[in-house]
A and B are shown apart, each in its own frame.
Chain A
């Protein structure tokens, strides 16, 4: 790997397609070889699905002549060929000469290609070229992130850790004649920490990539474990947990997911999983944002959980260019500092302000403290107390990570994605979506969360931009197509602003939502977390009702939705404790009388779950629940005629119309009449 001028040869492994399907993407064994000067055992799959071949001897003989393989492949039946290739792949290819083995194997592969051609698609085997080790990929990626000093150190002489080979396979390897194995036990001293001189603290700063080799299984598994931690943090944040609750949560999450048997493995796992996820989450702006804020939060709480010594060590490692405030300066601003402390609700005695413990930093370095007015600002400098230093470090960490993510992204789009097309790319692409919850960019079905918006729209025939975005995207997720959306908004807005002005001023943003204007992003509906964390201003009507409504307004709204008084109290209680999404889940359960285990994470999820329940009720009781629900719904939002028709189509679904054909006209008429009555009644 020195100098990077290594010609990697293509090797192949074989996959059973059913396995691909069962896990969603190929899980494969890594095999390949590195420099021509190094002859190594390269097969590195610990838990290979295919058992070792029964007769290694026979296999060895096979390997000695490529002709024999070719011959056999060409003249055997398909099943026999498959068996043969299975043996090759499961045992790993071992040869005294790398070139030779490559030749043999590639011949075999060509043969298989031919075979596939001959027999048509067998539907069972998919050839996968694996150009590189996972580790090579990681190191290659990370080399670019790392400093130049690391680049020079990156000599991939270290082969796999012996633990990578299950005993059985090692045995096979030894038994094969002419194999020169270089199983170099990994030098513990050159673990990633010390390579960068970061070993002091227990929180790595992920400055550079680890020069370790990773099994594909671990590559994925570690990443999933870390993702669980990050997802837990994200859930905690969206439930509005307080600082001490979050601290506990992070501690538990970390313990549950990131612990390994061996101590050294913990560090490795931490570093590896971070870098894998960096690759996973570097690819889009939204993903980067999420990853960045979750990783920074993780860092913040891990730092707070550290011992003071470790914290100090980290502080030194960050090498902040800021000095403590001089005592003369401190005296001059003492009153103001005390005032800030009191304004944050702490008492002076617990904080204990001392000049030596107060740092003067440019305000840009502590945006979170500035935003929440927890520091004193003077002439562009923020006076940061010791117990706030974590904010400073988090900012530093965040900005470093942000830059690194952009770099990784560049690397990803320019090289890795293509090179790892058949191996890592599917894993990486699957990882990011597997954990972002259900995908609401596909048209589905309505939720209660936007009722207030709709209400407001009906009353005023106008909504400000934020509300338009939230409701518009929600309706899009529900399955409203562009033309219908335009018609819907126009019908509402034109009563106040006139059709002409609507076309001019508002139609653009609706088309924008659908990715037809501007930067042409196809926006997805806002998730609960995004809505909860938004801050609607004066005159805005959007936002999460649980978070942004006053208690009275929320009670009224829930009452209108038919939430019983006891359930209502529970909901209000959750809201008081700032568990907005739990409150929403409770409301859901109260309305539908069924439990919702996963909780509500997305307005569109609320809708689709509602619909699911309603669907089952339609099957059970046919007409009545839907009918009454629709009427209450139309009453609730004063949606009258057009809404009822609209809702009919959605609630019964385009697809189930045929099954309801007998009742269709009847239902249609009834609803039409009912909503017409509502219409008159309300006018």
Chain B
């Protein structure tokens, strides 16, 4: 018991270079801006997040503690929160303000998306989870304006705790495993002939364009349904595979397969369905699967040099 506790203390105390976390921070900032700016045009924001007494379509009450403290869901409060959250999104991308910026972004998103539960998507919850991980982590240690201001370099070799990125991996697995457990419809199982994806893509609420042509490639949708269902329910195996990679000290194929499968699944969703910014947000979470060395190697392969090597002390 004591040995296990000591191992846990040591595990949570592990530190790594900040590139992976910085990349995650930038991706979350982009996802936040995509989420917010998709809601602003065409009168959507005014209709759904502003109270009926000020032009919205339904009574929204007082909103959460923040909206309530600011005076309720009036146009001034809602647009003010929108502006502050957007500014925090930009600050996340450039890496300014450390954890405070992430906290402002998280609370702003919570306040706005919580105003009208009927227009809320799972992507709001996923994004607020990722923002909370940034609150808990030192994500502006490198590739950030903070690093430039406080250490004179855009990129530094400062070490940061590794556990927030690892909790991000747990979060990724939870999203898949939980959604797999929720899929109790016969259509997801052999009992319903693995027909779920075919019928979901016939729903006008979600499909991007008419999908009746799928009837002619129905067996492919059945394979897609079976693979998706198994991928989700077996997602916890990823944690075991990562533990094994750690023990062996070299990357394993399971993680690569998981990433490839996830990319395929979400690219399919992106092409055939309209589910808002979910794909962008979950891709941000996938970045947690890569350590700083891998991120640097990726930059080496892409640009010939990693940004850290390019940096000059100013």
Instruction: Check if A and B associate.
Output: no
The residues of A with any CB-CB pair to B shorter than 8 Å are none
The residues of B with any CB-CB pair to A shorter than 8 Å are none
